[in-house]
Structure 1
């Protein structure tokens, strides 16, 4: 039984969006609804699917973070990175991750699409992780991490986001230690973020787009 009433907006996304199922090498194996991907099975299993996480920095080198709205099905009221979602199967074709990121940055944060250029995004790497969340809804994702540094206009969508703020590198550790955060953002903070943040000026030199960092069984 689902543990909370799901809003109409969130229910529509759960049932109408088709996520891309993949194997651990990131080869597409099929598709499934967002609901099917995030609902934990009777045996505790979750379908592995492709996702993305955007780290949006301003020109001062501060990271935009968001607090997920209370009506979100997975990890409500948790702080997380700038934007997280899924490339979808659209008209029987898999959506590429940068197109999906631009779409969701507009949907969640209201950033005008013309302020987001494809060439400004760096695929810094990919992570594989699983988290069983509240025991009803969870995550099992192969997550493309995209970094963009750009000053943009932000108008958060209240159906998705409760609040936003920019965090400096010096304050990031204390911020993460004192708030409830999503499991993927916690993994990025603990294992990868510092190196990326220190090298914003040369992302192309440090990017490892073909690498998949596996954090299965790591909390």
Structure 2
């Protein structure tokens, strides 16, 4: 098996964003008008901007905004991965962790930092993956840490986020939304690196960073997550 870092770590993050075909999908284009929560480097709210403005690279700059990523494990300790829809504006067809998105400025309870990120995660787990609302509640989400990263993508669309990381271990019902998700599958810990090494599609930059740096440790401590929690610091990936 080739080491994962050789396959992913030495390639620029620009590699992971494919060119988006035009015209844009109407569902995805409408979502660009939703408003993300702008934050400073310490994750303090400092305004809002549309998703379009928060993901469009302008003179090498992308506004820093709040996001979340969910890693959903079933009771067999397999991790749910998704392949993003071909119509997604950012990172179409890329494989990534179970669910990733943003708390929205216009939804009042989603502006409440940690609780807001949890509320947004439950909303998107239902919207993207079709998980019934009674199977995903904020208390099901274990907050692990925050990461900050930036990807210039293809030079047009990219990311610059403080990303709340949630782990959830539960058997759930899936009914993926085809506007958001192309494929879902559960992967066991013993096969994750082989799966990613042989994948014919790219993976998202935040998932790439987490796989290289954090995922194994989290996975090995699913029954004792307090060992891997860091609620004070923001992990900065340069």
- TMscore range, shorter length: over 0.9
Match of 1:85 in 2: 101
2:48 equivalent to 1:48: no
Match of 2:28 in 1: 10
CA contact (8 A) 1:122 1:148 kept: yes
> What is the RMSD computed on CA atoms of the aligned residues?
1.3
CA contact (8 A) 1:122 1:207 kept: no
Task: Give SS of 1:90's match.
Answer: coil
Q: Pick the structure with more strand per residue.
A: 1
Shift of 1:91: 5.2
Match of 2:7 in 1: none
Cα distance per residue 1:64-97 (max 9 Å; x no partner): 0000000000000100000000001125661501
Q: Which runs of 5+ in 2 are unaligned?
A: 1-19
CA contact (8 A) 1:122 1:204 kept: no
CA contact (8 A) 1:125 1:211 kept: yes
Shift of 1:24: 1.1
CA distance in 1, matches of 2:183, 2:129: 10
CA distance change for structure 1 residues 30 and 173 in 2, over 3 Å: closer, same or farther? same
Task: Give SS of 2:224's match.
Answer: helix
TM alignment of 1:37-186, pairs within 5 A: 37-41=54-58, 43-90=59-106, 94=111, 96-179=116-199, 180-186=202-208
TM-score, scaled to structure 1: 0.94
CA distance in 1, matches of 2:127, 2:107: 20
TM-score, scaled to structure 2: 0.86
CA distance in 2, matches of 1:20, 1:175: 34
